[in-house]
Amino acid sequence: MFKFFLGKIYSKSEDLGFWEHVEELRGRFIKSILAVAFFSIIAFFFKSFIFDTIILAPQSKNFITYKWLCELGNALKIDDICPESINFSLINIDLAGQFRWHIIISFVTGIIISFPFIFRQFWFFIKPALKPNELKYSRGMIFYINLLFIIGVLFGYFIIMPLTIMFLSNYTLSPHITNQITISSYISTTVVLPLSTGLIFEMPVLIYLLSKINLISYSFLKKYRKHAAVLILIIAAIITPSTDMFTMLIVAIPLYLLYELSLIIAKSVLKSQKQAG
């Protein structure tokens, strides 16, 4: 895959010249850094909204996902999926801990908001080196990548993260043990899960690119479909450490649908290659 992109870069450099190529790359990289810095600074001044309204929201029983689960549990007559309480409090044990996490979260927020712009810069750098037929099949690439990333982040935030917090915060070895979670433990979890699912949801685009450069094929994906289903269930079990099969399926089903979508994409790429050949 890296060889593919290097080939595109080299073919582009033949038209621009090596130093012009490096200069353009440097300019787009600087623009991306400035975009992250700009949104990070803005996020820094919206501390209360980011922490109280977004990051700390799943700590409350009134979080919208918990309400949905309670309504769903009442409709299906399942009591276990409705949290009675979220049993933990956050503590800070590092003198500079809260300030450090304020900076880190502001930076991560800047990256998330800047993601569409960053990818757009990368795409505009690669686009002139693409052949006409490659441009034809890459229409809407920016839109779909950004859309899948946003859906993945929202899925991680509203589904996976609350289920994880609900289970782990109520899991106790003994009623005499009180859960006091450090801010570093909580924030690292709330940041990693949404970002991870945002990247996982890019799987259809990744499969498309790998299919175009012949690093993966439709026959391969179809052959190992059952293996993929088992792997997805394992990933879902890891992401949602709950003994409840229902919550695991909530995560596993969208991931498997992404795999099926990847199959459709790989098949369409194969069909287009046969027509072109």
Position 36 scores a pLDDT of 94
Does 254 reside within a domain?
Answer: no
Does 73 reside within a domain?
Answer: yes
Does 42 reside within a domain?
Answer: yes
Average pLDDT over residues 60-66: 85
Q: Kindly give, in sequence order, each residue whose CB lies less than 8 Å from that of residue 173, ignoring residues fewer than 6 positions away.
A: none
- Would the pLDDT of 166 be above 50? yes
> Dihedral sign, CA of 39, 43, 49, 55?
positive
Give the residue numbers spanning the domain of 191: 2-201
Does 95 reside within a domain?
Answer: yes
Does 264 reside within a domain?
Answer: no
Average pLDDT over residues 81-109: 86
The four Cα atoms 263, 267, 270, 276 give a dihedral, to 10 degrees, of -140
What pLDDT, in 10s, does the model give residues 43-62?
999 999 999 899 988 888 88
Which contiguous run of DSSP H or E holds residue 28? helix 18-44
Does 180 reside within a domain?
Answer: yes
Number of domains in the chain: 1
Does 107 reside within a domain?
Answer: yes
pLDDT grade for 168, boundaries at 50, 70 and 90 = confident
Does 52 reside within a domain?
Answer: yes
